[in-house]
Homo-oligomer: A and B are copies of this chain.
Amino acid sequence: MADVAIGVDFGGTKVLACAVDVSTGKVLGEGKTTTSSADGPDELMKRIYKVCKAAGKDAGIAVGDTVGIGVGIAGQVDAKRGLLVGTANLSRAVVDLPMADLLTKEFGVPAAIRNDVQIAAIGEARFGAGRNVEQFVCIFVGTGIGGAIVHNGELIPGFSGNAGEIGHTMVQVGGRICGCGGRGHLEAYASRTAITAALMGEMRRGRKTILRELLPDVDPVHPAGSGAIRSGILKKAVASGDAVTIGVIEEAGHYLGCGLASIVNFVNPQRIILGGGVIESVDLLFDVAEKTTRLEALAHAGDAVEIVRAKLGDYSGAVGAAVIVAEQQGIAA
């Protein structure tokens, strides 16, 4: 029988677990649930146990018979000690949670935990758009913008393990305030959160847009509680020819391309892999970003770089998480 590991991708709105054949990257079974920002440590772990079991069941394998469980989560992670140090999306009660130890106690198999962007990059490196590419940069556009640098199949960790924060590179000195508190960061111009803020502004100042129909319950004056506009809605609005949404997406794509051009000039990567919900749903964002990157980068590096979409879609994180725990056990893809 093939080696199977469970990979868990713990996102801002949902948790996806997959039972993955780690020699091929094939997803054999999956389990899904929503997240709740009200979760304390116990509820959080129960949620993860549940999706792990569901993924195993779907694949016809008990979690205890797998190679192990890998978890990717948006937040600060201490990979060595298997700790979730903290995360902006969850209750403040979730601090220094020994997630790997708890999973091992529950299922009797090894466990590993990593940052969500890093596991997605590893997923793409082993089985996706980064396969056999010597050097690439992965960028995921979602609620925020995350990134990772991969060289010879391995993540470049940086000196203190924090490399890849392209969302917090500065594209506009003194510009928009970012979720992190800084100013002018790429994430404040090109993330789903930034796109939402711009669209709410357009609605407040009375511009005509189909979003009023697509989002009947959103109050643009007090949009905070509504969260970021879902990628599917953005896709619909663009497809309908909505000038307001198209303008905002083009602006975001332009900024994204300018940020990518800087990366091209500084790192000179062979390939840039763009992924995440907004990129997958809204072709216009990818297209404008690609065009701008080539236009704004220095000729030599800009001509050389390949700009492609992530291949594993929603599964890059879960597959990468499964790969990480398998490789930790000495099982190579």
Contacts and interface: CB of A to CB of B under 8 A. Distances in A.
Interface of A: 76, 134-135, 147, 149, 157-166, 168-173, 180, 182-184, 254-255, 258-259, 261-263, 265-270, 296, 298, 300-301, 304-305
A160 B262 contact: no
Q: Name the residue among A165, A259, A266, A270 with the largest chain B CB count within 10 angstroms.
A: A266
A258 B173 contact: yes
Nearest to A268: B158
A183 B254 CA distance: 13
B173 A268 contact: no
20 contacts: A149-B267, A159-B268, A159-B270, A159-B301, A159-B304, A162-B301, A163-B268, A164-B266, A165-B265, A166-B265, A166-B266, A168-B262, A168-B298, A171-B171, A171-B172, A171-B173, A172-B172, A173-B254, A182-B296, A182-B298
Contact of A266 (B135, B184, B263): B263
Contacts of A147: 266
B258 A184 contact: yes
Nearest to A184: B258
A158 B269 contact: yes
B173 A170 contact: no
B296 A170 contact: yes
A265 B169 contact: yes
A187 to B, nearest CB: 11
A147 B149 CA distance: 18
A65 B68 CA distance: 63
A248 to B, nearest CB: 15
A296 B178 CA distance: 11
A295 to B, nearest CB: 9
Q: Name the residue among A164, A169, A170, A263 with the largest chain B CB count within 10 angstroms.
A: A170
Contacts of A304: 159-160, 162
Nearest to A157: B268
B170 A268 contact: no
B170 A171 contact: yes
A188 to B, nearest CB: 12
B266 A170 contact: no
Contacts of A267: 149, 158, 163, 266-267
A182 B261 CA distance: 11
Contacts of A160: 268, 300-301, 304
Contacts of A182: 296, 298
